[in-house]
Amino acid sequence: MKTIGLIGGMSWESTAIYYQLLNRLAREQLGGLHSAKLVMWSFDFAEIEAHQAQGNWAEATAMMIDAARAVEQAGAECLVICTNTMHKMAPEIIAAVGIPLIHIADATAAAIKRQPVVRPLLLATRYTMEQDFYKGRLAAHHDLNVAVPDDEGRTLVHDVIYEELCQGIILPQSKQRLLDVVTQTREHDDVDAVIFGCTEVGLLVSGEDFDIPVFDTTSLHAQAALDYALS
């Protein structure tokens, strides 16, 4: 089994899910007392969030590169960034290390393309929904035409992620508000699936809340990482 290097803490709420999923999947696939071979760098998310909010992506990129090099030096044989948003600097990170990056958008796209989905709706941070690093990769590399909520919907989803889910706050009223965003988007767009494009979204909603296919990037990413580790 190859050693997986995790860059986490963004937030630790979803990084804990990565840890659980990777170990559970290893046990399921290998049996007995097996678990995943992991090394992890975990950020103080307040430092990362401050750079995001200020648009200081250069400093955030430098921090991410340092983290990637640290897990590589610790023995990692592949790299997993435990967040969708910080794949914004994936090209710079790939160039800075000698181990492969398991890209969360590629893992998600592979699952989407196994189903007859044409127009998935992306629920994520405002950065991921509005900037091109994620949607653009899905379009250019996987020929996927992704929808996002309107501005009000994007604001609501973003705020729920940062002000609640990243802080371990799960509110029924926020779940309903998020479901309403999906319903409203479907009323004026031919959306036929939902992407949980932030690793915390699955803390609030699940596939059982929708009558269309759901793609949880956290679980898909973890499975792709373990598949690579066992290849």
Backbone angles phi, psi at 80, to 5 degrees: -130, 120
- Please give the helix or strand (H or E) that residue 192 lies within, else none: none
Cα dist. 7→21, 41, 151, 186 in Å?
15, 5, 30, 34
Q: Which of 78, 82, 166, 198 is catalytic?
A: 198
Long-range residue pairs from 67-72, CB within 8 A, at least 24 positions apart, any chain: 67/7, 67/41, 67/43, 68/5, 68/7, 68/93, 68/96, 68/97, 69/96, 69/97, 70/41, 71/5, 71/6, 71/7, 71/39, 71/40, 71/41, 72/5, 72/97, 72/98, 72/99
Q: What is the pLDDT of residue 163?
A: 98
Distance CA 217, CA 231 (A): 21
Set out the domains of the chain in order of their start, with CATH numbers: 4-103+220-229 (3.40.50.1860), 105-216 (3.40.50.1860)
Active site residue 166: no
**Cβ–Cβ < 8 Å for 78, 2:** yes
Q: What is the pLDDT of residue 199?
A: 96
Q: What is the pLDDT of residue 89?
A: 98
Q: Which of 15, 78, 82, 83 is catalytic?
A: 83
- Please give the helix or strand (H or E) that residue 85 lies within, else none: none
* pLDDT average per 10 residues of sequence, the chain (231 residues): 98 97 98 98 98 98 98 98 98 98 98 96 98 96 97 98 98 98 95 97 97 98 98 96
Q: What is the pLDDT of residue 171?
A: 98
What is residue 117's DSSP assignment?
-
Handedness of CA 176, 180, 182, 183 (dihedral sign): positive
Q: Which residues pair with 81 in a beta bridge?
A: 7
Q: What is the pLDDT of residue 108?
A: 98
Q: How far is CA 164 from the centre of its chain?
A: 17
Active site residue 78: no
Question: What single-letter amino acid sits at 81?
Answer: I
Q: What is the pLDDT of residue 52?
A: 97
